[in-house]
Amino acid sequence: MELITILNQCYHHKGFVYQNARLIDKGTPEIEVNIVPRKRSKANCSGCGKPCSGYDHLPKRRYEFIPFWGFKVFLVYAKRRVQCRDCGVVAEAVPWARGKHHLCDAYMLYLADWARKLSWKEVAQRFRTSWEKVFHSVEYVVDWGLEHRDMSGITAIGVDEVQWHKGHRYLTLVYQIDSANTRLLWIGKERTEKTFSSFFDSLGEEAISQLKFVCSDMWKPYLKVIKARAGHALHILDRFHIVARMNKALDEVRASEHRAMKNDGYEPILTKSRWLLLKRPANLTTVQDSKLKELLQYNLQSIRAYLLKEEFQHLWDYVSPAWAGNFIDHWTTKVMRSKIEPMKREARTIRRHKDLILNWFIAKKAFSSGVVEGLNTKVKLTVRKSYGFRTFKCTEIALYHVLGKLPVPKLTHEFY
């Protein structure tokens, strides 16, 4: 069987034929296959797509195709220039590659698909190609996906920030969190009002009017923008962020008490207690469980803070917003008497945002913390993997690629 037979089977293009498959040696052996236009076929204008009469030829170019049994494969073609009535003299459009790309569509889709599973560097190494080529492949797939994605029917969104690069630089991320469709919708630099507001600009008034739920953390600029741009939707403070804040406060208490005890020469009983206190009791191992029980005997600020945090978790069991509200009043009053500053700070915050927290109960707990938390974890992982990326553009593309659930251009043959 000849290579050309296989190519015709998996990568046939109307109006073009393959010719003269050969093995050439450029240091390492490579496969080259010529493409020529079928006789009497017309070239399509790359400006408007219409078939036009030919003008002249451009020099031959090599288009990299999916490697075959360890050989690099190149399709060689001399583009025709056409005389288009509307666009003037321009190069023809070829069906196997876009614009100035030197990689075939099929190869770009192939690399981009691997780039979902491996880091871009690993993909480049695995297929003996360059990091830039992997980047351009992913960029192509993401751009196509963003252009062709369906933005209708979005009724619930969540906004979240993630730390980016070292230092205090953030990205704002907007997710769709409808139960039937959770995906990353949008990414913006920084976490300012202006950033988040530009998401609503890009969404457009009609889509905004269809929003029923907006979830967020307590970051003030987000709260302000949600009120101004999506005031008709039910605004929910999501549980994941409230619990995360509380854990942070508890950790502050524990760390400073541990330090103080060490300095004062007391027995360091809080050593290695961090996860005992932060984990939910149900998730502790038997050994951790007995250690925790021992720790609970002590009259320490950390222990009191821990008990307050655990007590707060009962909030989520309420069904009625009114009863949940009573619980919040009761709990915050207790915390305000506790003299534990980081916990008091959280209690004040919770009081201030009580209405938004209660909206979670009004929404009948429809938006579990798991959705936002899961997306947040995946985002952090992708951002960490992409630390080598200096530019926002790279990070943006990587995030859309992994989390955007974007549609992918269809080929007639599945190469992977």
Query: Which residues of this chain interact with Zn ion, rule CB under 5 A?
Result: 45, 47-48, 84, 86-87
Run of H or E including 88: strand 88-93
Cβ–Cβ < 8 Å for 48, 97? no
How far apart, in whole angstroms, are the C-alpha atoms of residue 189 and residue 186?
A: 10
Report yes or no: 356 and 236 within 8 Å, Cβ to Cβ.
yes
CB 86, min distance to Zn ion, A: 5
Nearer to Zn ion, 48 or 151 (CB): 48
CA separation for the pair 353, 157 (Å, rounded): 19
CB 214 within 8 A of CB 363: no
Nearer CB in complex with Zn ion: 84/185: 84
In the complex, what is the shortest distance from the CB of residue 85 to Zn ion, in angstroms, rounded to a whole number?
Answer: 7
Q: Using an 8 Å Cβ cutoff, are 126 and 344 in contact?
A: no
Here the contacts of 343-346 (C-beta below 8 Å, separation 24 or greater) are: 343/249, 343/250, 343/253, 343/305, 343/308, 343/309, 345/249, 346/245, 346/246, 346/249
Min dist. Cβ of residue 52 to Zn ion (A): 7
Closer residue to Zn ion (CB): 84 or 276: 84
- Minimum distance from residue 16 beta carbon to Zn ion (Å): 19
Query: Is the Cβ of residue 56 or residue 355 nearer to Zn ion in the bound state?
Result: 56
369 closest CA partner among 215, 170, 174: 215
Task: Give the separation between CA 402 and CA 255, rounded to whole angstroms.
Answer: 36
Least separation in angstroms between CB 99 and Zn ion: 15
Token pair belonging to 87? 């666009």
Q: How far is the CB of 145 from Zn ion (least distance, A)?
A: 26
What Rg, from alpha-carbon coordinates, does the chain have? 29
Q: Cβ 49 to Zn ion, closest distance in Å?
A: 7
For Zn ion, give the closer residue by CB, 45 or 243: 45
166: phi > 0 → left, psi -120 to 50 → alpha, else beta; which? beta
Task: Tell me which residue of 92, 56, 96 sits closest to 76, measured CA to CA.
Answer: 96
197 touches 224 (CB < 8 A) = no
The least distance separating Zn ion from the CB of residue 59, rounded to whole angstroms, comes to 22
Is the Cβ of residue 55 or residue 131 nearer to Zn ion in the bound state?
55
Nearer to Zn ion, 45 or 226 (CB): 45
Nearest-angstrom CA–CA distance, 189 and 394: 13
Nearer to Zn ion, 90 or 115 (CB): 90
Nearest distance from C-beta of residue 143 to Zn ion, angstroms? 22
Q: Quick one: 50 or 62, whose CB is closer to Zn ion? A: 50
